[in-house]
Structure 1
Amino acid sequence: MSHKTPSVILLDTDKKFHSFGYDAEDKYAQLTRTKKHKDWYYFTGIKMKLMTAMDTFKEEDNNKALFKERLRRDAVIKDMEDREYPLLDLMAMAYKYLIEHFLHQLESRTLLKDITPKTDIQWVITVPAIWTDASKQFTREAAIKAGLSEHQIKLAYEPEAAALYCRLLPVDKFVSGGQEKSLVFSTFERGKKFMVLDLGGIN
């Protein structure tokens, strides 16, 4: 099983947010087993919907004509029952859930005592390197709709964020200490090289 949380969202019968990720998958599976899923709204492939704003080539009369499918603010996404819902609102729900989940984790560790979330936290949202400006702007607007302010948001390309993470990731190695060897942890030393392979994904 992948450790990557799937980008799926479940809304209840009143079109209100119910769950995200594995929780949404589990709940929808439970509803399906009891045949009560028809009135719920289950959305998958949210990230792929944003990918449709990429430039593509179309063959027409033996000529290649470049055209763009623009990502509109009123774009919709269909659920498992082929019902439409505003994509911007759905993404805002997902971001709102993730924001609240993160703040709850900080609070449970008593790390919010000296922090004002509205001013002290910079939120970095990673996006695929091949996304168009339209997709990135759509992502930013969804985050603002979720409750973040413009100055709190930064977008970063996923491969670059992964490279920074790997550079700071502790690397274990054995060092000799007399006749014994002890395990120590350190980050990559200056001058060392590493490679990040982005294998992509559908969520």
Structure 2
Amino acid sequence: MATKNYLLVAAIDFGTTYSGYAFSTREDFQKEPTKVYLKQWVDPAGSSMMYNKTSTCILFDESVNFSKFGFEAEAKYQDLIMDNEHKTWYFFRRFKMTLYDKQSSGDGWFIEDETGKQLPALVVFSESIKYLKDSLLEEAKKQQTDIRVGDIKWILTVPAIWSDPAKTFMRRAAVEAGIDTDILTIALESEAAALFVKHLSIDRQLDGKGGDLFRTFVPGSKYIVVDAGGGTIDITAHEVLNDGTVREIIKSNGGNWGGTSVDGEYLDFIKCFLDFFCIEKALP
């Protein structure tokens, strides 16, 4: 597997609030490791702005057939609500964190949609990954028309704090989505970020006269990468070795302290404040 000459390396970032993907050809990587292709997403319900990710939402019809993903799923579900036709559909949002407490390897568990209806978690996750995989292939074929799934080395990133059963589940979902396990690598999000930033070229002349050039990521340098996402925050620390490779000096770690947790705490504060205000107002 390691010696196969893949035409592309493709990475899917399956996030709590937003998801996306990127890919790079072997030739581009050899010339410039940071040169990657990112799909530009447009929110049909918002402005015409372009985004590097789309929202992590998926919509199924009343027969549990896949309908939409991302911004399109949000827009379609909003239309269904306006027409009062949404009650028999299944709309899932920010469901990634249901894996946070997963400690068993079984697949027979269900998750709830926005209205409390349940579907098998494997169906929800695999259909989401399948959409991202198919979208990536469509974009890749614009550059290499005869590209196939097997010509690509696939990377699926997960939080560093995921349990082994959660990582196994994500692999199973990717296989269900049509990505063979032999061409798939499950990578930690913080580790992937740490390896990427090592390739960034950041030079600065300290004296402004061409001397004392300051370079980052030289052999012996150490750096910390903090990945603050919607569901989790992951932290890792690396050291650059003499041969240019890196070694882990602090094991990847983190917790469920992401942006959605901050949102939840803020909403709880507002609720408590309003309750207190109402009580005070009711007192004689």
Q: Which residue of 2 aligns with 1:40?
A: 89
- Which deviates more from structure 2 when the two are superposed, residues 43-52 or residues 154-163? 43-52
Select which of 144, 151, 154 maps to 1:111. 144
TM-score between the two structures when normalised by the length of structure 1: 0.75
Matched, 1:201 2:230: yes
Mapped to 1, the partners of 2:106 and 2:204 lie a distance apart of 51
**AA matched with 1:140:** R
Deviations 1:54-86 (A, max 9, x none): xxxxxxxxxxxxxxx535211111112211101
Offset at residue 87 of structure 1 (A): 0.4
Shift of the 150–71 alpha-carbon distance from structure 1 to 2, 3 Å rule, reads closer
Shift of the 189–162 alpha-carbon distance from structure 1 to 2, 3 Å rule, reads closer
Q: Which residue of 2 aligns with 1:82?
A: 116
Mapped to 1, the partners of 2:53 and 2:133 lie a distance apart of 17
Mapped to 2, the partners of 1:96 and 1:6 lie a distance apart of 15
Q: Which residue of 2 aligns with 1:143?
A: 174
Q: Which residue of 2 aligns with 1:160?
A: 191
Shift of the 37–173 alpha-carbon distance from structure 1 to 2, 3 Å rule, reads farther
Mapped to 2, the partners of 1:134 and 1:189 lie a distance apart of 35
**AA matched with 1:43:** F
Mapped to 2, the partners of 1:170 and 1:46 lie a distance apart of 36
**AA matched with 1:107:** K
Offset at residue 40 of structure 1 (A): 1.3
SS at match of 2:74: helix
Mapped to 2, the partners of 1:6 and 1:46 lie a distance apart of 11
Q: Which residue of 1 aligns with 2:128?
A: 94
Select which of 7, 14, 18 maps to 2:67. 18
Mapped to 1, the partners of 2:216 and 2:85 lie a distance apart of 52
Q: Which residue of 2 aligns with 1:52?
A: 101
Q: Is the 1:168–1:188 Cα contact (8 Å) retained in structure 2? A: no
Misfit runs of 4+, over 6 Å:
none
SS at match of 1:198: strand
Mapped to 2, the partners of 1:96 and 1:194 lie a distance apart of 35
Q: Which residue of 1 aligns with 2:251?
A: none
TM-score between the two structures when normalised by the length of structure 2: 0.55
Offset at residue 6 of structure 1 (A): 2.7
Aligned length: 177
SS at match of 2:169: helix
- Unpaired stretches in structure 2, ≥5 consecutive residues: 1-16, 19-51, 210-214, 232-259, 261-284
- Identity over aligned pairs, percent: 35
Shift of the 169–36 alpha-carbon distance from structure 1 to 2, 3 Å rule, reads farther
